[in-house]
Chains A and B, each alone.
Chain A
Amino acid sequence: MHIAEGYLPPLHAAAWGVASAPFVVHGVRALTREVKANPDSTLLLGASGAFTFVLSALKIPSVTGSCSHPTGTGLGAILFRPPIMAVLGTITLLFQALLLAHGGLTTLGANVFSMAVVGPWAGYAVYRLLRRFEVPLMVSVFFGAFVADLSTYCVTSMQLALAFPDPGSGVPGALAKFGGIFAVTQLPLAVSEGLLTVLVMRLLSRSSKGELTRLGVLVAGEKKEATVR
């Protein structure tokens, strides 16, 4: 769940906007480059954006007795690298802010920073790290997506804690409070997101072997892993 419209003080809202803008601009450039160099990838780009659209529309009940939704950013970050995911995530956030009154325009910068910048980068980093240690592809994908999801909401909690420190215990106290609302709720959802991302990656590795090999997710000659696992 994103920070609601008007719920960040103007200064904070502006600062997060400034922090996010370069990532989105860079992402737009990366995206145009990708589409120009590989026109065939447009369809898979659309599918990655669509995955984020579906997942961030699903509000799922969680162990804390409240609901939240996954982000779906791990898949695109693993396939196309995080800069491109920054654009796809921003589009999703804009759609929700404009049509659903979910998130908001004044909090767009902060929400983009958590969901479209930190989430994809953290997830991608974990995925690459695991791959480097030769962890099986689908296990790496699971943890990549899991971390992309969970880190998003840790950042959201941090953003709110910075804006609304607890009068007694300061920022750490507020972080514990917002973390309890966002991050703990998100734990099982992050597991779900990991599982769903693995599912889509499994389907992709059968239907779009060529594309995934070009993107470096599947390694040529490593067929066994893609089909058996």
Chain B
Amino acid sequence: MSRNARINTLLLLAVAALAVLPLVLGLGDHKEEPFTGSDGEAEAAITELEPDYEPWFSPLYEPPSGEIESALFSLQAALGAGVLAYYFGLHRGRRQGEERAKAATEDSDTATPAA
């Protein structure tokens, strides 16, 4: 593995470790429902601070179940990942194409005098 690829792999591993460690160390064990969303916790805190507060508007569309919600979230991630992959793939292909074209013209340059 090149030095470059090694650094990139290390970066990814560090991110993975940061995400997994809280789960492995059981940092959510003190909670009734571990690892819920912080937005939900904020809603609970609001109700605690102002028990009479009622949300005055509800979402126009709400995913009917947790499954559908997670599907939509994955769709969002997939769309983003797709565009990113397209970007990097396109540029890699372009670079390879340019290199090949350059090599080809160099070949023909050296070939013509002999012919």
Contacts and interface: CB of A to CB of B under 8 A. Distances in A.
B14 interface: yes
B92 to A, nearest CB: 6
Interface residues of B, number: 58
Contact of B63 (A5, A101, A106, A191): A101
Nearest to B45: A177
A160 B39 CA distance: 11
Nearest to B50: A164
B115 interface: no
Given A4-B39, A166-B49, A192-B15, A66 B55 contact: no
A54 interface: yes
Contacts of B30: 65
B91 A101 contact: no
B90 to A, nearest CB: 7
Nearest to A10: B56
A139 interface: no
Contact of A207 (B19, B39, B43, B95): B95
A177 B49 contact: yes
Contacts of B58: 5-6
A178 B45 CA distance: 8
A47 B87 contact: yes
Nearest to A185: B38
Contacts of B104: none
B31 to A, nearest CB: 5
A57 B15 contact: no
Contacts of B55: 4-7
Nearest to B81: A54
B37 A195 contact: no
Contacts of A49: 80, 83
Interface of A: 1-7, 9-10, 43-44, 46-47, 49-68, 95-102, 104-106, 160, 164-167, 174, 177-178, 181-182, 185-186, 188-189, 191-192, 195-196, 198-200, 202-203, 206-208, 227
Pairs of residues from A and B, 9 with the lowest C-beta to C-beta distance, nearest first: A6-B55, A53-B80, A65-B28, A54-B80, A50-B83, A1-B39, A101-B59, A6-B57, A57-B77
